[in-house]
Amino acid sequence: MGIRSSVAAAFALGGVLFLSPSVAEAQAPPPVEAYGRLPAVNGVSISPNGERLLVGVSEGDASAFQIINLISGQTEHNYGIPAELRFEGVGWADDGHALLMVGRTVIHAGSQRRAASTVIGFTLSNRRQRDLEVRAGLRPIPGAPGVAFGLAFDESRRLSVYRVNLENGSARRVASALQETSDILFNDQGEILARVDWSDETNRWSLHVYNGAQPVQVVDEVTEIGLNPLRLEGVLADGRVVAVGRRRNEPRARMIAISATGDIEVIAENERYDIGGAIREPRSGRVVGVTWVEDFPKQRFFDPELQAVGDRIGARFASGYAVIMGWSQDRQRFIVLAETNMDGGAYYLYEPVANNVRLIRRRYPELSTAAAIGERQSIMYPARDGTRIPAYLTLPVGVERQNLPLVLLPHGGPHARDAFGFDWWASFLASRGYAVLQPNFRGSTGYGYDWFNAGRNNWGDGVMQTDIEDGIDALVRAGIVDRNRVCIVGASYGGYAALAGATLSPERYRCAISIAGVSDLQRMIDVTARNSGSRFSGISDWWRGSMGEPARLRAISPAMQASNVRAPILLMHGDNDSVVPMEQSRRMESALRSAGKDTRLVVLQGDDHNLSNASTRTQMLREMEIFLAQHLRTGQVEIDDSGAPAARQ
């Protein structure tokens, strides 16, 4: 991630915003392992009394949780995570009980893979850990150490509130909602404050708040999205329920406060971007602020004291960004995640009385130069219909910005977005001499409903794909990239976009790389319906509506259009993927081979959809490096003993 230079240093070419190139001496790039590693630190939480840190750490494929005493500086506990588990988060129930969130892929119904999460409770006094029966929504009970409330499904598959004993992991149900309830908000006594009900058969959802024991229906809608448009976030100090989302006919996601009688007040919105979520007081769970993403993550606190702390922290990292991740109960110590243009992000401890910042640990410690990160720019370029497309361009440092080979890197989702922060894929590729373009094409989230909805029924040959392609033309007009040296690379939906580019616009690309990409849309819809338990579920119906009718699905399914391919295609897929079945890559490989095309499938053994293992991340990057060098470089490419390109040309 390079951080943007000032606007005064920028100039426009061909409708694209570029920054003045920096000068750097040529040097060997960091090894692929420096990018493929798991973050050295991937979560930090501070105990309520401010005396200890709970830290998630990784080295190689091994991950662990550490408890560090801030007074002595010593690591008091080190708990290794079993190899089959992946890190998801850390937290504290109270000063004596830490919470470790982990996930795993489980085999369901013989062969179907599903992601499952577990919360492990850790007692500091006796160093005992145990799986908790409640695995979501855990929050402490004031004045009752060792006890918490949380959510789980009861024996009738109703979402319920449970009282959890953190010493032995047992749980007792204290309140239940309805069969169709998908979310619950509860108070310090375990009483239900609000609930969301949703039917996947009709796409009808409703939100209720409780006036005592009596529920009051606030919203009742049928949504075209197929998912709950409002998400319960917590309560304000005045007791009002807070929710975030976009209701029908609203342009963007907003934050609202709902009284016990059902009165609604909008308390946070942005003119361009969707509101992302709430900032909560770590111990009480009270909502004290709001988050959203522009280029960088943004925070605004309702509490003036917290806002003042946030402003002081932001001033310390003015060349990048900083967000507050948590704080001690007395607000004397804050955990901060920050990035600059010289690193991949780091966690810091901030003490406001002394205005002092201390480094806890860097996420990618081997990446500490601008050349290793690349120069990252926020740009806008025109689509063919004149719409301005936001995107991020990462350029290699110390290389002339003219006729560079380009890696087009569309994000996954597709209903997600890229942001300006460090991206290990983009930085790795820039370190190898490639320009990298990451468009937030129409259909991406974060920019409001119209932008999101513009992607509906526009897969493959619609604006979701043409917006990506138009980025190539903009960079070519600016003289930055070579039109004849473009490779499209992506994972998940980005993998689909890479395959769609290679099959539906084959003249544009020298090569394509798909990681866990979808190749047969009808088959993917059928799998989604099967996994959701009903062929006619709202989720799968919505996917059909997003992509088109069966005839169109065939026309935009890469596996059905393999005969159009002109460029080599590299396929990679984790064999433990619970989101996109590996059969999608196998189908593409079979179709390409039957059509006599140049392709290879690399199985990432034991890894999941998110590439959770350092060894397979590194394998993926190394395969990518060799493939790109073979097809985008000019001249002879020499491969050294490790299988990597021996020199940049």
For the stretch 196-227, pLDDT in tens is 998 877 778 899 999 888 899 999 988 765 55
- Residue 578 and residue 610 in contact, taking contact as beta carbons nearer than 8 Å: no
- Average of per-residue pLDDT across 497-502: 98
- Residue 575 pLDDT > 60: yes
Least confident of 73-82, 238-247, 640-649: 640-649
3-state helix, strand, coil in the chain (%, to 5): 20, 40, 40
With bands split at pLDDT 50, 70 and 90, how would you rate the model's confidence at 267?
very high
State how far Cα 398 lies from the chain centre.
30
Count of CB atoms situated within 10 Å of the CB of 94: 21
Q: What is the pLDDT of residue 103?
A: 80
> Which tokens belong to 233?
């976030």
- Average confidence (pLDDT) over 554-575: 96
pTM for the model: 0.90
More confident residue, 54 or 647: 54
Q: Which residue has the higher pLDDT, 619 or 13?
A: 619
* 507 in a structural domain: yes
Amino acid at 305: E
Question: Which H or E run includes 569?
Answer: strand 569-574
The residue-averaged pLDDT of 225-243 equals 87
Angle (nearest 5°) at CA 194 between 192 and 195: 100
pLDDT at residue 637 in the model: 43
Give the pLDDT score at 487: 99
* The pLDDT value given to residue 161: 94
> Using one digit for the tens of pLDDT, what is the confidence trace for 330-389?
999 999 999 988 899 999 999 999 999 999 999 999 999 999 999 999 999 999 999 999
Mean pLDDT for the chain overall? 88
pLDDT of residue 16: 34
Task: Please calculate the CA angle 635-637-643 and round it to the nearest 5 degrees.
Answer: 170
Hunting for tokens 């926020």 — which residue is that? 378
Strand 511-515 with 481-491, pairing: parallel
- Domain carrying residue 463: 7-22+367-632
The total domain count for the chain is: 1
Residue 46 lies in a domain: no
For the ranges 38-47, 81-90, 156-165, the one whose mean pLDDT is highest: 38-47
| 533, part of any domain | yes
Find the mean pLDDT for residues 552-556. 92
> Quick one: pLDDT at residue 112?
64
Instruction: Quote the pLDDT of residue 179.
Output: 87
- pLDDT value for 278: 98
Answer whether residue 472 is part of any domain: yes
Task: Answer whether residue 304 shows pLDDT above 70.
Answer: yes
Distance CA 363, CA 369 (A): 14
| In-domain check, residue 523 | yes
For residue 142, being part of any structural domain is answered with: no
Under the banding of pLDDT at 50, 70 and 90, the label for residue 18 is very low
Residue 611 placed within a domain: yes
pLDDT for residue 532: 62
Least confidently predicted of 28-37, 51-60, 216-225 = 216-225
Q: Is the pLDDT of residue 573 over 50?
A: yes
**pLDDT of 15:** 34
Q: Under a CB-based contact definition with an 8 Å cutoff, are residues 496 and 517 in contact?
A: yes
Distance of alpha carbon 152 from alpha carbon 273, whole angstroms:
33
Tell me the β-bridge partners of 293.
297
Residue 584 has pLDDT above 80, yes or no: yes
pLDDT at 538: 55
Average pLDDT over residues 534-557: 70
Q: Report the percentage of the chain scoring pLDDT > 70.
A: 89
Mean predicted confidence (pLDDT) in 60-71: 93
pLDDT one-digit tens code per residue, 419-471: 999 999 999 999 999 999 999 999 999 999 999 999 988 988 899 999 999 99
Average pLDDT over residues 490-507: 97
Report the range of poorest mean pLDDT among 296-310, 450-464, 535-549.
535-549
Average of per-residue pLDDT across 551-555: 90
pLDDT at position 499, please? Answer: 98
CATH number at residue 501: 3.40.50.1820
Cis peptide before 414 (omega within 30 of 0): yes
